[in-house]
Amino acid sequence: MGGLLGGRRLGWAVLGAACAVLPGLWMWAFTVDDALIAVRYARNLSQGLGWRFNPHGPSTDGVTSLSWPLVLAMLARADSWAVLDRAKTLGLIAWGITGAGLGVAIGRVEAVRWPLKLAVMGTLTLSVPMAAYAVSGMETPLATALATGAALCVRRSRVASRIAGCAALFRPEMAVWATVLAVASTLASQRRRDSSALTAAVVAMTPSIGCVVARVLIWGRPVPLAVLAKPGTLEQGFAYAGAACIVSLVPVVALAPLALYRDRSALAIALAALAHVGTVAFVGGDWMPFARLIVPVVPSLAYASVLVAPYANRPFMAARSVLAALFGATMIGRGSAEAARHVGPDRAALIALARPRLAACHSVAALDIGWVGAATDSEVIDLAGLTDPYVAALPGGHTSKRVGTMFLLDRGADSVIMYLARGLPNGGLDRWTEAEYSRVVEARLARDPIFARHYAPQAWLPLGAAGAGYVLFRARPPTE
């Protein structure tokens, strides 16, 4: 009997790992520009240069997660793209282990038959956001692993509280989620012990409080620099959170509010997830594709949906599962996932093309500083403010800060890089002023006659095969 149970457990572990790793491998080429920002911080840390984006610049907290650059620094003795590949590998391994643990936990739910368990695991497999951020090179899979581990330990509230608090080390907005999970899991197992619930809340909040104290002591602010650089609105936040719950698929399957009250563990997980969705909405969401901020709580909702399955309306649950699966297949079939699979190769080619062009530059100004920082070790002037406190505090969003030509001249920028989603008009670089600059900062600079007087287009750097790319401007000689 023990061998049979062990074999079943192994089977579910293998299934769970496969459901995680195979989609991740399919999305391996996906990444985002911010992943390379963390890589540059980690490389500077590994070289003993401190917590800074520019090797000789001021110390700034340009990565939202304080823990991630520290983890990444252990892998950062290499070229930027090699470090990114190592981060992607670490993320895939973490997601594979998470999937295995989730598979075992789902397999242990005896009251639910295996076809429904497979349907839930299949929905998770079809979730493009889960696969994409497992291999994005960011901290998301580590936060997901810890959040899932906490949810799987929900019946052991003390353990769940500690693990949940660690998850918030990698994603600061998860502090609310961690606290709610800790309190809800404690009340679910010991209804009347309010002091235990309070203790659980303190335990879950302690890592986040430590990060706040560290930020205040080092940089004089309790919140990440990104909060200033990328201010969001409630309207944007609610739109993001609602769309994220749909595109990540599993929250749709777990939407069984009446059934949740029949299982305290599932209810604790669901309440924490609801608190997290509300937090994401409150902070204004995110600009990255594929619901990044919701991803860490999605596997825990898969577990909760299996826990409540015996109490849920089966036809409705089946209908939600089918709708989620169809939507996931549509995302894959209509090309959004396929397009994302070209991001990495396109960005690598762009970096290789730009590197010799930037070799003679001393100071480069750009909005997309991740790939630029991977293409040169020179100073990078961050026009979005993600790594620059002065720019972050200026009015506007992260692509519309009030920076102009005089700012570039004051900072000594000898090069400027600007993005064109539709490419250059006929006539090439000579007609750069007529191009369509979709981002406010770049459009403002392109219309400024002072900018044209001080900077001249030097090269066109194509990005991918769809016509997009970047114009590289160099400072005109003083006599020109």
Question: What is the gyration radius of the CA atoms in the chain, in angstroms?
Answer: 24
Q: What is the pLDDT of residues 373-427, one digit of tens each?
A: 999 999 999 999 999 999 999 998 888 999 999 999 999 999 999 999 999 988 7
pTM of the predicted protein model: 0.93
* DSSP letters spanning 289-320: SS-TTTGGGHHHHHHHHHHTGGGS-HHHHHHH
Residue 354 lies in a domain: no
Is residue 437 located within the same domain as residue 304?
no
Is residue 176 located within the same domain as residue 212?
yes
Residue 345 lies in a domain: no
Is residue 334 located within the same domain as residue 459?
no
Is residue 367 located within the same domain as residue 420?
yes
Pick from 340, 375, 410: which residue ends a domain? Answer: 340
Is residue 318 located within the same domain as residue 448?
no
Distance from the first to the final alpha carbon of the chain: 86
Residue 350 lies in a domain: no
Burial of 221 (0-12, 13-18, 19+ CB in 10 A): middle
User: What is the C-alpha separation between 109 and 111, in angstroms, rounded?
Assistant: 6
Domain count, the chain: 2
Contacts of 404 (CB under 8 A, 6+ apart): 444, 445, 448, 450, 451
* DSSP letters spanning 25-38: HHTTT---HHHHHH
Is residue 260 located within the same domain as residue 401?
no
Say yes or no to pLDDT of 238 above 70. Answer: yes
- Domain containing 374: what range? 359-475
Is residue 41 located within the same domain as residue 168?
yes
pLDDT of residue 478: 76
Is residue 367 located within the same domain as residue 312?
no
The answer to whether residues 397 and 391 touch, using CB atoms and an 8 Å cutoff, is no
Pick from 289, 308, 340: which residue ends a domain? Answer: 340
Is residue 292 located within the same domain as residue 397?
no
Pick from 283, 309, 340: which residue ends a domain? Answer: 340
Compute φ and ψ for 402, nearest 5 degrees.
Answer: -80, 70
Which pLDDT band, with edges at 50, 70 and 90, does 193 fall under? low
User: What is the C-alpha separation between 120 and 251, in angstroms, rounded?
Assistant: 11
Residue 352 lies in a domain: no
Ranges assigned E (strand) in 386-475: 415-420, 455-462, 469-475
Q: What is the pLDDT of residues 310-324, one digit of tens each?
A: 888 888 888 888 888
User: What is the C-alpha separation between 196 and 158, in angstroms, rounded?
Assistant: 9
Q: What is the pLDDT of residues 345-376, one digit of tens each?
A: 999 999 999 999 999 899 999 999 999 999 99
